[in-house]
Structure 1
Amino acid sequence: MLKIGLLGTGHLGKIHLKCIRLAKARYDLIGFYDADPDTARHVAEEFHLKAYDSPEALIAASEVVDVVTPTPTHHAMVKLALEGGCHVFVEKPLTRTLEEAKELIELSRKTGKIVQVGHVERFNPALLALGDLKVKPYFIEAHRLAMFNPRGVDVSVVLDLMIHDLDIILKLADDEVTDVRASGVAVVSDTPDIVNARIEFKGGAVANLTASRISLKNMRKVRLFQPDAYISLDLLEKKSEIVRLFEMDAQLPEDGQQFPLETPKGPRIIHVDQPDSGPVNAIQLELESLADSITQGKPAAVSIEDGYRALDLAHRITEAVEANQQRLPDAEV
C-alpha cells in the first residue's frame, strides 16, 4: 500500500479523507495537515487520525500527497510535495495562474513524479457509460447551474464550475481551440457569477457553455451532436442517453429501444440506449486510478497537462469576458 497524507480538511477535504479510507486496498492514510488549529483538532478527534504540525512534516512521511486546500495555495503545496519526493493528487483547478501551472509541469517532469488533477467528472457514471462509443461531436452544449454557496467564491465561476465542463469538452473534442468568445457578469461576488462561452475548434466543432452559481436549481448537463448520434449526459443524475439513426437492414445493438422513422432518404430506425455503468464513488475511483498509475506505470487518468489545458482555456474565457465588458457602455443604476 502507498502511504498517503492529506493536505486540507475543509468540506471537500473531509470527503477525500473518507474516500481514501474506502480505498484501503491501495492506500495507508498516515495523517493530515490543516492550517486551522481548531479544525485540525476536531478532525483528529473525529477520525482518530494524526494531525501533523506542518505540510513539510506530512510530506516527509508520505509517498503520495492529496492536496485539497484552497486554490490560491495549490502551487505552493504541490511544489512542496514534488520537491519532497511525493506523487500528488490535487483538486481542480490545478493552480490559480498559468505560470504556476507551467512551473509544476516542469517540476513533475524533473522529479519523475505523477501529478493527477481532480477533474472528478471524468469518473461520472454518465460519462463512463459511453464506454468505447466513438464520440466526435460537431456541436456541444453544456449547462452547469448551481445555487449560491459562499464557499468557492475566491475564484470566478469559470474556475469554480465551468472548468469541469471545459475538461470534458477538451477530452471529447480532442482538437485545438481556435476561437473563444464569452460574456459574463458579477452579481453577488467580486468575480463573474454567470458566464456563457462559445468555443470553436480547428476541425469545425463548436461548444456553447453556460455556468452560473446563483441559480434557483442545480443542473449539470452536456449534450453532444454528431452526424451519427445525439448523446445526452446528465451528470447530476448520473444518467446518459444515446440516440442513433440506422439503415433498415443494419445490425443494431442488442440493448435499447428501436423505433421506425420515415425520412426524406427513406425509412430508418431510431435506436435509443440508456447505458448504465453502475453506481460508483467518483472521488474514490479517481484516487484509486492514481494508485494504479503509480504502481502499474499507467498514464494519469487526468494528467497535469490535462489540468493545464483546462486552466488555459478557462483563462482565455475569463479574458474574453473582461474584453467584452470593456466594450459595453457604462450602465446606470
Structure 2
Amino acid sequence: MVSEPVRIGVVGAGYLGSIHANIYSRLSGVKLVAVADINPVVGQAVANKYGAAFAYHGRELLNRVDAVSIVVPTSSHREVSESFLAAGIPVMLEKPIAHTIEDAEAIVRSAESSRCLLQIGHLERFNAGVVRLHEELNRPRFIEVHRLGKFVERATDVDVVTDLMIHDIDIVLSLVESELSYVSAVGARIVTDHVDIANARLEFADGAIANVTASRVSAKKFRRIRTFSDAGYLGLNFEDQQIDVARPGPRPAEGGFAPIVTDTIRVDPTPPLDAELAHFV
C-alpha cells in the first residue's frame, strides 16, 4: 500500500521561503500544497512557480497541511508558530527561534504542551563537513570561527548575532562537551540600527576557548571554522565542505618535535537546507 505524501505548507514567501518551497516541490514523499504570504504578489508568484495554492494568511493553511515551514520575520515567529503547534501541526521554524528569550520559551512550551514536533532551522548542522568534523574532533582546546558576508537588505530586523553568529554558537556548543562558564562580546552598528559586526569569546569549564566573529558588512563572503586539540588541527570551509588536517606524525627516534603531517578530508558536498528539510519531513 502506497502511503499518501506529506502535505506541506510554507508561510513566508520571501528569499528563504521561496527556497523552502522549491526544495519541498522536489522532495520525494512530499506535496507542497500551499504558500502563504501577506504580500499577494510575492506569495502568488512563488505558489504558481511550484504548483501550490496561494493563501494570504498562514491560518488559512491550518486545515490543509500535515506540516509547515515558517519563514517569516523573527518578530512574528511566536504568533505564527503557536497557531500551528496548538493545532497539532509539526513546525519547521527558521532560525532564530525568536527575537526574545520570553518568546522562545513560549514557543517551546507550545510544542511541549501539544506534544508536537518543533524543528529550528540551524541548517549548518546538516552541512556534510560539519557532520564529519564532529566525527573527527575530540576534546577541542581552541576554536576560531569567522562567518563574514556582504551586506544585503534581508534579515535586518535582527542583529548579526541572531542572524549569522547563531549558527556558529550552535556548532561550538555541540563540539565542546563541557558547560559554558564565561561569555564576553563586543559589536558595532555599521549600516543598520542593529549590531552588524560582532565578536564573542566563549570559555568552558574544561578550559576550552572559542573565538567567534560574524559580520554582514564585509567585502567578501568568508566562512571558516578552525579547531585545535591535542590530536592536531582541523579546519573546515563551510562552503566547499572540505576539511584541512594537520596532525603530529611519528616522533623522530633521535628526539625532538614530531613532524606535522597535512591532509585534506573530502566529503561529498550536499546542500544543507535540502538535507535539513528532508530530515524534517
TM-score (norm 2): 0.92
Alignment map for 1:76-225 (pairs within 5 Å): 76-130=79-133, 132-225=135-228
Which residue is equivalent to 1:5?
Answer: 9
Question: How far off is 1:265 after superposition?
Answer: 4.9
| Structure 2 counterparts to residues 167-316 of structure 1, below 5 A | 167-247=170-250, 265-266=255-256, 268=258, 270-291=260-281
Do the aligned partners of residues 135 and 27 (structure 1) sit closer, same or farther apart at CA in structure 2, a change above 3 Å counting? farther
2-structure distance, mates of 1:263, 1:132: 31
Distance 2:30 2:152 in 1: 32
Report sequence identity in percent.
34
Name the counterpart of 1:295. Answer: none
Q: Report Cα offsets for 1:111-139 as digits up to 9, x if no partner.
A: 11111111111112321333632432111
Report the CA distance between 1:222 and its aligned residue. 0.6
Distance 1:208 1:130, change over 3 A: closer
Total equivalences in the alignment: 277
Compared with structure 1, are the counterparts of its residues 290 and 158 closer, same or farther at alpha carbon in structure 2 (3 Å cutoff)? Answer: same
Contact 1:119/1:164 (<8 A) preserved: yes
In terms of mean alpha carbon deviation, does 51-60 or 187-196 score higher? 51-60
Residue ranges of structure 1 left out of the alignment (5+ in a row): 249-261, 292-333
- Aligned Cα RMSD in Å? 1.9
- CA distance in 2: counterparts of 1:215 and 1:95, whole angstroms: 25
Instruction: Write out aligned runs for 1:23-38 (5 A).
Output: 23=27, 25-38=28-41
Structure 1 runs, 4 residues or longer, greater than 6 Å off: none
Q: How far does residue 195 in structure 1 lie from its aligned partner after superposition? A: 0.8
Does the residue aligned with 1:3 lie in a helix, a strand or coil? strand
More relative contact order in 1 or in 2 (CA 8 Å, sep 6+)?
1
What's the CA shift string for 1:129-185, capped at 9, x where partnerless?
336324321111011111111211111111111111111101111322111111111
User: Which consecutive residues of structure 2, in runs of 5 or more, have no partner in the other structure?
Assistant: none
SS of the residue 2:47 aligns to = helix
- Aligned partner of 1:139: which letter? F
Asked whether the 8 Å contact 2:134–2:175 carries over to 1, the reply is: no
Query: In 2 relative to 1, CA 139–263 (structure 1 residues): closer, same or farther, beyond 3 Å?
Result: farther
Counterpart position of 1:16: 20
How far apart, CA to CA, are the structure 1 residues paired with 2:254 and 2:212?
Answer: 32
